[in-house]
Structure 1
Amino acid sequence: MEELSRKERRKLLREQKKSEKQNQKVFVNLKKLFITLFGCLVIGFFGFKVYKWATAPVPTVSGVSVEAKDDDWIKGNKDASITLIEYSDFQCPACKTYAPMIKKLSEEYKDNIKVVYRHYPLPQHKNAKAAAYGAEAAGKQGKFWEMHDLLFEKQEEWSNEGDITEKLSIFAESLGLNKDEWRADYESQEVKDAVNADVTLANMINLSSTPTFLLNGEKITIRNYEDIKSKVEEKLKSN
């Protein structure tokens, strides 16, 4: 085999280096192109998510908006795309049965769902409206959900009594609330208006029983915990 001269070897080396630079340049350009395309995909994906959220239709029932409001009692992630609204009555035995189930759901899916409680004290439950006032008044001191749980837990203790104001006051004290402030709020028109606003909206969407659940604006029936859990999972997959 004929040995290359020094001049030929230098020429060959220059050509090899030139080829390597060209290959490196192609690689760098491909890398930049890949990064750009990947960035576009990421921006497009999140942009679509934001667009989908921003343009999503407002949940309605019977043509009436039922989306969560800033002054609603909310558990979970207030920015979640899944909303479970419960219209409930503190004197309703069925509502008491569902209360632990909804509480468990709000804890298990706290990052993915907002659970909204709205009052719908039924006329046949003589103490339901007073209990709703008591919970609203507790909410003025940041203890709505604590009073909510206590009212259901001790439902048998107050549901068949006459005037339950004193019983509710004892509950408020047990939660560490200022009794005088609680009593003033309990008797205030502001608290009564808050409860009545929920009732008015419930009547506008033709509710007639408790508990009634709306999942992203759609009335649903819940048989047990696994049932509501599966419905939430379906919504999560579709988002």
Structure 2
Amino acid sequence: MKTFARATYITGAVVIVLVIAALTVAFRPDRPTAPDPSQTVGALPAARSNSHVLDDAGPDAPTLVEFLDFECEACGAFYPLVEQLRGKYAGKVNYVVRYFPLPGHVNAMNAALAAEAAAQQGQFESMYRQLFKTQKQWGEQQVPDPGQFRAFAEDLGLNMEDYDRAVAAPATGERVEQDVNDGKYLGATGTPTFFLDGKKLELTGPADLTAALDAVLAR
């Protein structure tokens, strides 16, 4: 009963935030450019060769790509559902995370930079989990708070000199913006936006994501 109640709660929460997400559009006046072919050779669909692959089921397996904003409430609501699906489809589906910080979220870029800095020390997934688990602590603030993310890095045991250097490096911000550009080019306008084997999914509820994965696996 507890499992059923928890699943019902998650489903209800996701439906609500899908409505919110539909009203949340990333307004960026610059026109997106096509990805550099040299960085997509051999990459999974809707990804680049440097994209963060959290679940690697092989090149022949279906690929689910999520463009997300760590401060986005809808992304936070989807997080437990995605974790459930990762367990359910372990070894069957590739899962890729890409950045899409929205300009209306004051700390979205700080969170993305923290995740990318952690990735440079092989700790992307640890930071990914930390950011979503603590989202209510730092999300929806009125002022930037990079110190909060630095504290997360310390908690994860990262080398802080390397972390500070990575966060400050222009290349780290460019890496995040690369994902944003690709997302816009592919048709992402808000978060979370999911692509399955390169095709954008139009979701009205959490069941749609499961149904899409089941359908592609049944082929």
TM-score category, normalised to shorter length: 0.7 to 0.9
Match of 1:93 among 68, 73, 82: 73
Counterpart in the other structure of 1:164: 145
Matches for 1:131-142 after TM superposition, within 5 Å:
131-142=111-122
The amino acid across from 1:73 in the alignment is H
> Per-residue displacement from partner, 1:42-76 (whole Å, max 9, x unpaired)?
xxxxxxxxxxxxxxxxxxxxx98853332111122
- TM-score normalised according to structure 1 size: 0.68
The amino acid across from 1:151 in the alignment is L
The percentage of counterpart residues that share the same residue type is 30
Q: CA deviation at 1:222?
A: 3.7
**Matched length:** 177
Structure 2 unmatched runs, 5+: 1-33
> Per-residue displacement from partner, 1:166-203 (whole Å, max 9, x unpaired)?
11111011111111111111111221111010011122
Determine which structure has the larger helix proportion and give its number.
1
The amino acid across from 2:89 in the alignment is Y
- Between the aligned partners of 1:197 and 1:123, the Cα distance in structure 2 is 15
The amino acid across from 1:67 in the alignment is A
Matches for 1:102-121 after TM superposition, within 5 Å:
102-121=82-101
Q: Does 1:154 align with 2:134?
A: yes
Change (3 A) 1:110 1:165: same
- Between the aligned partners of 1:223 and 1:144, the Cα distance in structure 2 is 29
Counterpart in the other structure of 2:50: 71
Structure 1 unmatched runs, 5+: 1-62
- Between the aligned partners of 1:99 and 1:80, the Cα distance in structure 2 is 25
Change (3 A) 1:164 1:216: same
Q: Does 1:129 align with 2:114?
A: no
- Between the aligned partners of 2:127 and 2:137, the Cα distance in structure 1 is 14
Q: CA deviation at 1:141?
A: 0.9
Matches for 1:48-59 after TM superposition, within 5 Å:
none
Q: Could you say which structure has the greater relative contact order, defined with CA pairs below 8 angstroms and 6 or more residues apart?
A: 2
Counterpart in the other structure of 2:6: none
Matches for 1:10-25 after TM superposition, within 5 Å:
none
Specify the SS of the correspondent of 2:90: coil
Change (3 A) 1:161 1:149: farther
Match of 1:144 among 117, 124, 128: 124
> Per-residue displacement from partner, 1:98-146 (whole Å, max 9, x unpaired)?
0121122122212111111111111111110111000000111111111
Check the 8 A contact 1:87/1:120 in 2, yes or no: yes
Specify the SS of the correspondent of 1:68: coil
Change (3 A) 1:206 1:224: closer
- Between the aligned partners of 2:129 and 2:95, the Cα distance in structure 1 is 14
